[in-house]
Amino acid sequence: MINLELPKKLKASANQAHQVAAEIFRPISRKYDLAEHEYPVELDTMAAMIEGLSDSGAQQVSGATGDRQSGDAHATELLGNTNGGNMAAMMNSLETSWGDVGLMLTIPYQGLGNAAIAAVATDEQLERFGKVWAAMAITEPSFGSDSAAVSTTAVLDGDEWVLNGTKIFVTTGERSTHIVVWATVDKSKGRAAIKSFVVPRDAPGLTVARLEHKLGIKASDTAELRLEDCRIPADNILGSPEVNVEKGFAGVMQTFDNTRPLVAAMAIGVGRAALEELRSVLKDAGIEPSYDIPANNQPAAAAEFLRMESDWEAAYLLALRATWMADNKKPNSLEASMSKAKAGRTGTDVTLKAVEIAGPLGYSERTLLEKWARDSKILDIFEGTQQIQQLIVARRVLGLGSDKLK
């Protein structure tokens, strides 16, 4: 049974994240939207604060250690349910994204690659990489959503892996200290041979080819990376180097079970920001949505607001379920994709509709509504597009594999 009431510990953590969003992110949001690729120096102080909180076990922002801190299995059995590292990370992602999702994505030492490390690293690797700033590099010029099409290669040479390939659209690809790179160790064995590797920023052969100019999340750097005979230690492969054809690449795909609810939380945070701003705009215009009057008896703008708010609530609850399942060691691939699909679609719908209803004010730079509309679009694309999430949901519901349903 899921208790939808947040425990005191998570409330305190979420409140701290909200204060960061309100006091640090919001005031500089427009500044770094207009100054793309400029590093937000204001985040350095915050990084030190987060490190201290993480060391004390008081807070996590994006799941650097994921569910490893959620307690032992016996305690979970006795209590019935657990809210651990994943839930804390989801709530903090939601609150900081309410402030500015681009700045949230560029918080030092809190990259999406950290969640990947948490998902599949051994305890020894988690000890080594638990405090790095890890980006995640999956997409290549030859493919987008089909993660199984990875062509970057990793060849074992003595006690080192040699990586060759190009990765594009890598979030914090220039600023992070490490990159989690997906590569194949044997192309002849298909997707089962795809593994993830932790590549240090200063590894020989790793270069930043260029930075992307983007529609939104401009505070976050998005890079193209090239690996040319890039050498890393043999034990920097996450999980087992053995290729298990029967298992496929479920190990690396498990990463998404952790990160997709986090991306859903980002969309939920941006969506809530837009709804709050729109409510204020409507109030100034003399329109206040009512929960006591049927929607069809209210002004069209109020009725539309209520529709969007209900969609937002559904997205929030789906993300809570997927995250709770992760904390309680329950398979959540279906629920993670459901939450990502719903939140991504809701985020773009809510922010674009808010711009439309607010009229000239929404389209101008006098508020952040137009910025949130631009920022939200990527949240329906990265970590698996809307279409890919629906495909995954269909496969899980129908019990069909990727060879049967494409």
Report, as residue numbers or ranges, the catalytic residues: 383
DSSP assignment of 230-295 equals: EEEEGGGEES--S--TTTTTHHHHHHHHHHHHHHHHHHHHHHHHHHHHHHHHHHHTT----SSS-G
Burial class (CB in 10 A: 0-12, 13-18, 19+), 85: buried
| Residues 197, 4: Cα–Cα separation, whole Å | 37
Determine the straight-line distance between the first and last CA of the chain, rounded to whole angstroms: 34
The token duo for 149 is 């099409």
Q: Identify the DSSP state of 180.
A: E
**Of 67, 116, 61, which Cα lies nearest the Cα of 89?**
61
Strands, E, within 86-216: which ranges? 134-137, 153-157, 160-171, 178-184, 194-200, 206-211
Q: What is the Cα Rg of the chain in Å?
A: 21
CA 55 to chain centre: 22
Q: Identify the DSSP state of 332.
A: -
| Residues 91, 226: Cα–Cα separation, whole Å | 34
Residue 272 main-chain phi, psi, to 5 deg: -65, -40
Helices 333-358, 386-398: axis angle to 10 degrees equals 140
